[in-house]
Structure 1
């Protein structure tokens, strides 16, 4: 299991802690996060984060908007050089911990490609269930997952 630290991305698209020189992917994520804030607002802790592991930026995760109608949507992305090392799992765990600390009654939503992949395997570890298929204007058909708030934030064993 990888240990990560979440570094907040501010409204100007800059990390709020020292992370060293950002590579191209991390800079693109920070720029995209400012666009996310332009539409959804900057409402900590419901914001974007860089994931840091052993002093390196290894991924990014976010709440796509502050909670609306009892739901909050998450997104996460492990940078290519760090895939298959538990980073995605650690990011989802960290986001769920924020939800548990802030508003335990929220339903957490995540969307993935409509195929079996690493992302939906991560969601299943935490007790997310496939809720339905949605049509995304940019990505086409997507699977929408909902987190059963009655399950614990810890990984589900044997799933």
Structure 2
């Protein structure tokens, strides 16, 4: 499954692709997209190798709730950012996380990506609420959520929790 717009391809990585994603530019080579200096912390890599791949392999039918989704900017043929669900939905609610790579900041890429993913979620699943957490100082992320009709749900210390309802 791929979500596409005129400018973007949003691809949930299967277990083989996700493993390649942890190995430098291996995924870029396999997908024949522009290789870049993409950094993955050891913490994230270990989480993928020890937990996320296990979850995907144990629940292949719902792999898209565990894996990373890459956002490819078609014009540049390059990965511009990442998206993920933070596990399967519970009581009709799911949490999301996302990041745009620095080279692609302030271009509206994540706003458009989140819009298309929300559309997909509300059409193809039983999810009725989507949650996202941001640092209270992360104005770019807050703007992405506001553009996509998320409302402030809770605030805790330096974090805001946002919710989008179907």
TM-score category, normalised to shorter length: 0.7 to 0.9
Q: Pick from 24, 34, 47 the counterpart of residue 35 of structure 1.
A: 47
**Relative to total residues, which structure has the larger helix share, 1 or 2?**
2
Give me the whole-angstrom Cα distance separating, in 2, the residues matched to 1:58 and 1:44.
Answer: 22
Give me the whole-angstrom Cα distance separating, in 1, the residues matched to 2:44 and 2:69.
Answer: 12
What's the CA shift for 1:147? 0.3
Paired position in structure 1 for 2:73: 53
The answer to whether the 8 Å contact 2:94/2:127 transfers is no
2:90 is paired with a residue whose SS is coil
Q: State the superposition RMSD in angstroms.
A: 3.0
Give me the whole-angstrom Cα distance separating, in 2, the residues matched to 1:45 and 1:104.
Answer: 14
The answer to whether the 8 Å contact 1:76/1:91 transfers is no
Paired position in structure 1 for 2:20: 14
1:82–1:123 CA distance, 2 compared to 1 (3 A): same
Paired position in structure 1 for 2:139: 117
Q: 5 Å matches for 1:1-159?
A: 3-11=7-15, 12-14=18-20, 18-20=31-33, 22-25=35-38, 28=40, 32=44, 35-36=47-48, 38=51, 41-42=55-56, 43-46=62-65, 47-54=67-74, 55-115=77-137, 117-134=139-156, 141-149=158-166
Question: How big is each residue's C-alpha offset from its partner over 1:33-88, in whole Å with a ceiling of 9 and x where there is no partner?
Answer: 77258158223332311100121111111111111222111111111001111111
Which runs of 5 or more residues in structure 2 are unaligned?
22-26, 57-61
What's the CA shift for 1:8? 2.2
1:41 is paired with a residue whose SS is helix
TM-score, length of structure 2 as denominator length: 0.71
What's the CA shift for 1:28? 1.5
1:85 is paired with a residue whose SS is coil
Which segment drifts farther, 52-61 or 104-113?
A: 104-113
What's the CA shift for 1:104? 4.7
2:99 is paired with a residue whose SS is strand
TM-score, length of structure 1 as denominator length: 0.74
